[in-house]
A = this chain, B = another copy of it.
């Protein structure tokens, strides 16, 4: 065995390795995407917090520096009409006082895929577009398809995978409970029912005919090999890339990532996301009903995290990361990508 047991993803996408560098807003930009593509992965640009101009600039930078398939990632949540965050701001007020912050203008929030974003896709023609929290409305989805882009979307349950497959996505990202960042759950939502990747992946593989990309808890070659045994055609890895020099996290943050347990919290954005513990979670708890719905919760908590980051106080905020953070190797992203693929192939071939 000298090749991947399943080549459906690499043949569909045209990348060298069946690895998707996960889009991570605030943590990875064009540099990480470019280096991942250089290493042979499908590189991703997280677009949910970018303006149309910023998207175009980042795509142009990627295209000028590397050849290879590019994924633009968007969120498909519905923006709440209005969100009363009075109680949430009151809860956080002592931290505003500690940090000497006035109540600042709200920070940029993650926006759903819309007319403007669709226009960027039509102009820039990425090879791949991926969606989180379901899919955009049908007319927008058809416009994306008309560009020739392949469409990926995230499922956290078998029901969601069937829903996505029925709407014609080209591949499904099976996101296990272990994954860092926002859980993509969009149908139903009792968080107590969250499913681990070991159980979720084969059930989704059995339920749909499109290729399945395994995500959550995979940070080394062993995890990639295991995902293929469970029927995956590729893996999506985020936390493993957080320790690359191309990530946007400052150095001090990486030591925190590898040494602290993670849990699901809504204090980051109002939506459920896996993050490492930090002082704020220790003091107010990981789940607060006062936080307005996703993404509005970030309006009051975001400025605190930004200030803490600027001060090098990495302890304060919940940093988004998955359960495999301690497994990550701190290598440049191109080298990391090549090593991940080589290690997985060696394990699959029984040579490691």
Tell me whether A270 is interfacial, beta carbon within 8 Å.
no
Which residue of the partner chain, among B176, B203, B262, B286, contacts A326 with CB atoms under 8 Å? B203
Tell me whether A223 is interfacial, beta carbon within 8 Å.
yes
**Could you tell me which residues of chain A, from 318 to 332, have a CB within 8 Å of some CB in chain B?**
322-324, 326-327
A158 vs B261: C-alpha distance when bound (angstroms): 11
Which residue of the partner chain, among B195, B203, B323, contacts A195 with CB atoms under 8 Å? B323
A218 vs B201: C-alpha distance when bound (angstroms): 11
A341 CB, nearest partner CB in chain B, Å = 14
Tell me whether A197 is interfacial, beta carbon within 8 Å.
yes
B-chain residues with CB within 8 Å of residue A348 when the two chains form the complex: 229, 350
Tell me whether A202 is interfacial, beta carbon within 8 Å.
yes
Tell me whether A227 is interfacial, beta carbon within 8 Å.
yes
B-chain residues with CB within 8 Å of residue A190 when the two chains form the complex: 261, 263
Query: In the bound complex, do residue A196 and residue B176 qualify as a contact, i.e. CB atoms below 8 Å apart?
Result: yes
**Could you tell me which residues of chain A, from 199 to 240, have a CB within 8 Å of some CB in chain B?**
199-200, 202-203, 206, 216-220, 222-223, 225-231
Query: In the bound complex, do residue B327 and residue A203 qualify as a contact, i.e. CB atoms below 8 Å apart?
Result: yes
Which residue of the partner chain, among B176, B203, B326, B347, contacts A198 with CB atoms under 8 Å? B176
B-chain residues with CB within 8 Å of residue A146 when the two chains form the complex: none
A329 vs B109: C-alpha distance when bound (angstroms): 46
B-chain residues with CB within 8 Å of residue A198 when the two chains form the complex: 176, 178, 196-198, 216-218, 223, 226, 323-324
**Given that A229-B225, A229-B348, A347-B229 are known contacts, is A178 also in contact with B202, CB under 8 Å in the complex?**
no
Tell me whether A5 is interfacial, beta carbon within 8 Å.
yes
A6 CB, nearest partner CB in chain B, Å = 10
A199 vs B347: C-alpha distance when bound (angstroms): 17
Tell me whether A1 is interfacial, beta carbon within 8 Å.
yes
B-chain residues with CB within 8 Å of residue A322 when the two chains form the complex: 199
A339 CB, nearest partner CB in chain B, Å = 15
B-chain residues with CB within 8 Å of residue A218 when the two chains form the complex: 198
Q: What is the chain B residue whose CB lies nearest that of A202?
A: B222
Tell me whether A177 is interfacial, beta carbon within 8 Å.
yes
Query: In the bound complex, do residue A200 and residue B323 qualify as a contact, i.e. CB atoms below 8 Å apart?
Result: yes
Tell me whether A193 is interfacial, beta carbon within 8 Å.
yes
A350 vs B348: C-alpha distance when bound (angstroms): 9
B-chain residues with CB within 8 Å of residue A231 when the two chains form the complex: 222
Query: In the bound complex, do residue B193 and residue A263 qualify as a contact, i.e. CB atoms below 8 Å apart?
Result: yes
Tell me whether A116 is interfacial, beta carbon within 8 Å.
no
Tell me whether A333 is interfacial, beta carbon within 8 Å.
no
B-chain residues with CB within 8 Å of residue A286 when the two chains form the complex: 192
A155 vs B212: C-alpha distance when bound (angstroms): 30
Tell me whether A334 is interfacial, beta carbon within 8 Å.
no
Query: In the bound complex, do residue B261 and residue A193 qualify as a contact, i.e. CB atoms below 8 Å apart?
Result: yes
A sample of 20 more A-B contacts (CB under 8 A), given A196-B323, A199-B217, A200-B323, is A5-B350, A178-B195, A178-B199, A197-B198, A198-B216, A198-B218, A198-B323, A199-B323, A202-B324, A203-B326, A203-B327, A206-B327, A222-B229, A225-B229, A226-B226, A226-B227, A226-B230, A228-B229, A229-B347, A229-B348
> Would you mind naming 12 contact pairs between A and B with Cβ atoms under 8 Å apart?
A176-B196, A190-B263, A192-B286, A193-B263, A196-B196, A196-B197, A196-B198, A198-B216, A199-B219, A202-B220, A222-B229, A222-B230
